[in-house]
Structure 1
Amino acid sequence: MNLALQQGYGVVSKSGFTPGFDGVDGSLREFRVGSVKVTSTARQCVLRVSDRGGLRRRVGGKESGGVEGGRCSSSRPRSVTARASLLQGLGGSLKEGYVLKNHGIVDETTEVESTGDVIEKLKKGFKHFKDTQYNQKPDLYAKLAEGQEPKVMMITCADSRVCPTMLHGLEAGEAFIVRNVANLVPPCEGSGEHHGTSAAIEFAVTVLQVERIVVMGHSNCGGIKALMSRDTYSGDFVGSWIRIGLPAKKKTLSLFSGKPFQEQCTFCEQEAVNVSLANLLTFPFIEERVKTGKLHIYGMHYDFIEGQLTSWEIEREEVPIHA
């Protein structure tokens, strides 16, 4: 095992333990990568990596079943098996001078310190989820292990006060969610730049075959405030992104000129959603599906000050044909 990997996983020596793994109920659970021993609380089994790379499971002093393709012959020690495969080379893409630290598996058996640290809170939150959701809904999570079939895609703001799953009572697997600054959708364009939102839209529509797309804005949006208050939109990542909403700003200033800034922002928050809906229709695979009724697009605005949700739908206007 190379030095970077040893440092990255906190391996002090070839017989050292990896931090974050300790025994429970008085028993040590371990597996070896070469001659390096790692303990885990994840499952009551022992995994050993042989010199030829074969991974075998030992329970109660007896070896049983080989492991192929990262899968253990028993479905229970899955986490430990994954841990063994991750130890070999994980973190090799990091910039020189950086290593992984405190890499450990968290499940309902893991002891988490109460230090008030936000990472510890996240770990405790996962333990609670594992115990009260994952373990209580085995059929749901077994189905999700096979793949996802969401019916709706939601494009919302990255604002920490906006949580789509909590707001709308969504189960895991029900919605394909993308979050970005000011819930903006760029127009379809073929440049060679990175387009995370556009890639997600393409995947959701053409691969997952979602039937609904919802773009949801919200009150007191920092991205919209930046859009309304700026004069230049170059020189930084935020500016180059929020200029997608410039048509909304133009419309806002034409209708609310002289009005208080907050009123302008409130209107622009919703009109920026409409700009995003219009940009959705610039994607050929979206417009085609909207025309045939296979896809519907919606706008929403969440006001967390008043506790209100405004919702609307975009549809094609029927143009009368005159004889």
Structure 2
Amino acid sequence: MELALVLLVVVIALTFDYTNGFHDAANAIATSVSTRALTPHAALVLAAVMNFVGALLGTGVAETIGSGIIDAPLGSAGLVVVLAGLLGAIAWNLITWWKGLPSSSSHALIGGLTGAGVASAATVHWSVILDKVAIPMIASPLVGFLIAYVVMVGVLWVVRNAAPGRTTRRFRLAQTVSAAAMALGHGLQDAQKTMGVIVLALVAGGLQSDYEIPLWVKLAAASAISLGTYSGGWRIMRTLGRRVIELDPARGFVAESVAAGVLYSTAFVLHAPISTTHTITSAIMGVGATKRLSAVRWGVARTIGAAWVLTIPAAGCVAALLYLVFSLFM
């Protein structure tokens, strides 16, 4: 029974990873496609490859998810907690994807695990959630916005006397590099979260005694998110690429570069599972504000912000409800 539950949780976790890929594909490629720096197909292939590579570069975020959010009970009870958390996250991913809202798959997963943990009376590490989730959730968009704004102002000053046509062509070429860097950061952050959940299930099922990430888990999670990314996320891509602000190649390059830098620093230094969606969206707003504040479509930004605020509690409520339903059959 427990082995079957472990296998089910692993399959559902990889399904979540896949939905994470197609839900968040826009994070890496929306700006490059909207500025015509890359064709949609080329951008998707690039993002999928770099997602796979990024997923194999570290385990700090995976360890935070696997052992830092909740202490799942051992046995079937713990596996049901993880399963309910995953299903709550997947449900929110599908809802926001259908609505075209770039919400955070990371926070959906954290919300799902927390909600199921509370419903099951498992130990929830609220201090870790505060330090590694809540504070970065607020700080990373602000940092992304401010740095993108400052860097964009500097770039505009440097190229102020350059020929517009040549400058645009150069930034289009540079966007290939920045899009790759953004996709690498997405794999580094988001695929690791699935790795952490799978290890949490392995520990709860008694198949592993520590939270070290096995190689097969890394490869499986990397493959799932890459396949999901290649499937694309066109609804969300339109929101990020055009509805927030009309981007040009220079602004697209700066937004992607700044967002990638924030992702790398939080993954390698803080081991914090921040949202790639929040980071790139805020960076896009930051570069857009250098035109004029009214250039950013703040009505769209408010809608996105509402989805951000709702993600953790919404996924948590769905997961808690699912746990209560599942517990009736335990």
**Which category describes the TM-score, using the shorter chain as reference length?**
under 0.3
Instruction: Judging by fraction of residues, say which structure has more helix.
Output: 2
Per the normalisation by structure 1, the TM-score is: 0.22
**Higher Rg of the two aligned structures:** 1
Per the normalisation by structure 2, the TM-score is: 0.21
RCO higher in structure (CA 8 A, sep ≥6): 2
